[in-house]
Amino acid sequence: MKRGVWRAAAATAFICGSYTAGTTLFMRLTGAGIVRRAAAGTGIILTFDDGPNPLYTPKLLDLLGEYGVKAIFFVVGRHAEQHPELLRRMQREGHLIGIHHYHHRSAWRLTPRQTKREIRRTAAVIERITGNKPHFYRPPYGKLNAAVPFVSDPFITVIWTHILGDWKVRTCDRDLLGRMMAVPADGSVVVLHDDGSNKGADDAAPGHMLPVLRQYLGHCREHGIELLHPGSLVNDSRGVRI
**Least spacing, CB of residue 50 vs Zn ion, in Å:** 4
Binder among 52, 77, 98, 140 for Zn ion (CB under 5 A): 140
Q: Which amino acid is at 221?
A: R
Q: What is the DSSP string of 105-116?
A: --GGG--HHHHH
100: annotated active-site residue: no
Task: Give the C-alpha separation, 39 to 151, whole Å.
Answer: 24
**Least spacing, CB of residue 178 vs Zn ion, in Å:** 23
Residues 23-52 within binding reach of Zn ion (CB under 5 A) = 49-50
Per CB under 5 A, the segment of 62-70, 139-147, 171-179, 230-238 that binds Zn ion is 139-147
Nearest CB to Zn ion, comparing residues 100 and 135: 100
Residues 106-125 within binding reach of Zn ion (CB under 5 A) = none
**Least spacing, CB of residue 201 vs Zn ion, in Å:** 9
Task: Give the C-alpha separation, 18 to 231, whole Å.
Answer: 33
229: annotated active-site residue: no
What are the residues whose beta carbons fall under 8 Å from the beta carbon of 217, sequence distance 6 or more? 63, 66, 67, 69, 227
Residue of 79, 83, 193, 208 marked catalytic: 193
Judge if the upstream peptide bond of residue 58 is cis by omega within 30 degrees of 0. Answer: no
- Residues marked as catalytic: 49, 193
